[in-house]
Chain A
Amino acid sequence: MTTLGDSFLTAWQLVAAADTRLAGIVWLSLRVSFAATLIACVVGMPIGALLAVGRFPGRRVLIVLFNGLMGLPPVVVGLLVYLLLSRAGPLGAFGLLFSPTAMVIAQAILVTPIVAALTRQVIADEWAEYREQLRSLGASRSRAAATLLWDGRFSLSTAALAGFGRAIAEVGAVMIVGGNIDGVTRVMTTTIALETSKGDLPLALALGLVLIAVVLSINAVAYAVRGWAERKWG
């Protein structure tokens, strides 16, 4: 396959040339998806923990709901956020459409259920183990949820990484709410889609390889940091 060979070569050349435009696109991708993941963790982790520990009516329904929402189609989320932020929509006055902020919002909505559902699983396992102990200390359920979240912080990094992976890989939502505007909202995935449209398949694949390399490095760094932190504070 010449295309594959070409792509590896092009990918290497792109990286070696330290192309500033490419760097800008990669940086925007990272910025947007990192911000979205951060919001998703702040919102999703407490929800997940409460779902694991809490006892309230509708809890099971919510668990199924969050598990199901992990499969939210990005295009639908994009469309929803688009209609909200559009000038004709309820939040149109803020003029946020076609901005990185709009992309963060869309990705955060996409990723929050993933973080919440995975957190619930992690915390539920811990809860089963430490339930008696926490109870004997007289901890309330929300106090217990907070303690378990802190206790499981290393395991929870996987939930955050899963969310980040989903955010940085999706194209449907950012394409709609960002508009793939050159230099403003063009990220890795929309660039790949654009180059595919132009029929420049080797370049599109090369950009894909760069994206995969970036995601792999982030995971490697996260893994190393986790190991180091666990040794130090675990």
Chain B
Amino acid sequence: MIFRRLFCSALAVAGLLGAGSTRAEERFITVSSTTSTEQSGLFGHLLPAFEKASGIKVRVVALGTGQALDLARRGDADVVFVHDKTAEEKFIAEGFGVKRQEVMYNDFIVVGPKADPAKAHGTNGRDILEGLRRIEATKAPFVSRGDKSGTHAAELRYWKAAGIDLDKAKGPWYRDTGSGMGPALNTAASMNAYILADRGTWLSFKNRGELAIIVEGDTKLFNQYGVILVNPAKHPHVKQADGQKFIDWVVAAEGQQAIASYKIGGEQLFFPNAKP
């Protein structure tokens, strides 16, 4: 019957279209990472160098640190590359990761309206805790990632360290957006609000509006990135050899130099600090 033939050929065409150029034999690993590394353009700079050196393609899925770790917990990634030490150590302790290695750092900054209505800049613009206290005291609009990302976790730690109980202090001034770094910055730019951001995303962010850096340089604002191989004992399909190759490369001289050489407008975004 004509319909059966139509049916079969349509399915065949659909199959061809869907699978057409996935190139099943291509050698690749899947890395779950953070929006900050992807959206700052670091991976676009780093990965081609690794691919050239090793012949292994790296497929990056960029999410918040919390989601990136969850993805790896389900076995959907070979390597995680994130920035939340506490969450990373928990991941290892649960047996999902083999070993955590430090790769690089950058720092968090508080971005806010140039006019700084909350006077969060303080005396020298280097005190994150005082800055947050002033924002809370004046109820100046503040945008939070609210997405369990590494930056969100850091923000919550700073509020706590500043002695502010967010659950009580929360009000219309505190906007929980549940979005990635870029979208949250877009929201902050359109509301002229304060926000905690990572420097890399801020430097490459284009829609700044009236925003500028208000607080930076506090040693507490240090933001460490780590890399972990997903445990093949938990997920046997993990590409152990190729994943380890990527980790070895990124913590060795070649990878570290590639990280250091990534600049936007002459400014270095990430500072390699792997321990040999």
> A32-B18, A95-B237, A101-B18 known; A199 and B10 CB under 8 Å?
no
The 8 Å CB contact of A98, one of B15, B30, B204, is B30
What are 26 sample pairs from A and B whose C-beta atoms fall under 8 A apart? Answer: A32-B17, A34-B17, A35-B14, A38-B14, A41-B10, A87-B74, A87-B75, A87-B235, A88-B75, A89-B74, A95-B237, A98-B59, A99-B22, A104-B18, A146-B3, A181-B60, A181-B61, A184-B22, A184-B59, A196-B183, A197-B183, A197-B186, A199-B185, A199-B186, A199-B206, A200-B207
Note all chain B residues with C-beta closer than 8 A to A100: 18-20, 22
Number of A-B residue pairs having CB atoms within 8 Å of each other in the complex? 98
Neighbour of A180 across the interface among B62, B207, B237, CB < 8 A: B62
How many of chain A's residues touch chain B, expressed as a range? 35 or more
A221 at the interface (CB under 8 A from B): no
Per-position 1/0 for B62-86, Cβ under 8 A of A: 1000000000011110000000000
0 or 1 for each of A172-196: is its CB under 8 Å from B? (1 = yes): 0000000111101000000000101
CA distance A38 to B208 in the complex (A): 43
Closest chain-A Cβ to B50's Cβ sits at a distance in Å of 14
Binding site for A on B (CB under 8 A): 3, 6-7, 10-11, 13-15, 17-20, 22, 30, 35, 39, 44, 59-62, 73-76, 180-183, 185-186, 189, 204-208, 235, 237
Q: In the bound complex, what is the Cα–Cα distance between A104 and B6 (angstroms)?
A: 19
**A38-B13, A97-B76, A100-B19 given. 20 additional CB < 8 A pairs?**
A31-B18, A31-B20, A36-B14, A86-B74, A86-B75, A87-B75, A98-B76, A99-B22, A100-B18, A100-B22, A101-B19, A104-B14, A104-B18, A179-B59, A181-B59, A181-B61, A197-B182, A197-B183, A199-B205, A201-B206
B169 → chain A closest CB, angstroms = 28
A92 at interface by CB-CB < 8 Å = yes
8 A Cβ contacts from A181-234 to B:
181-182, 184, 194, 196-201
Q: B182's closest neighbor in chain A, by CB?
A: A197
Contact of B39 among A34, A88, A198 (CB under 8 A): A198
Q: How far is the CA of A170 from the CA of B116 in the complex (A)?
A: 39
Main secondary structure of the interface of B (DSSP, over half): helix
B13 proximity list for chain A (CB < 8 A): 35, 38
Q: Across the interface, do A194 and B39 meet the contact criterion of CB distance under 8 Å?
A: yes
* Contact indicator A87/B237 (Cβ below 8 Å): yes
Q: Please measure, in the bound complex, the distance between the C-alpha atom of A87 and the C-alpha atom of B32, giving whole angstroms.
A: 14
Please report the C-alpha to C-alpha distance between residue A199 and residue B179 in the assembled complex, in whole angstroms. 13
A14 at the interface (CB under 8 A from B): no
Residues of the B chain whose Cβ atoms lie less than 8 Å from the Cβ of A86 = 74-76
Instruction: Find the B residue at minimum CB distance from A184.
Output: B59
Do A199 and B189 contact each other (CB < 8 Å), given the known contacts A35-B17, A38-B17, A42-B10? yes
Task: Give the contacts of A88-135 with B (CB-CB under 8 A).
Answer: 88-89, 92, 95, 97-101, 103-104
Which residues of chain A come closer than 8 Å to B74, judged between CB atoms?
86-89
Name the residue of chain A whose CB is nearest to the CB of B1. Answer: A146
6 tightest A-B CB contacts, nearest first:
A197-B182, A199-B207, A87-B75, A35-B17, A179-B61, A104-B18
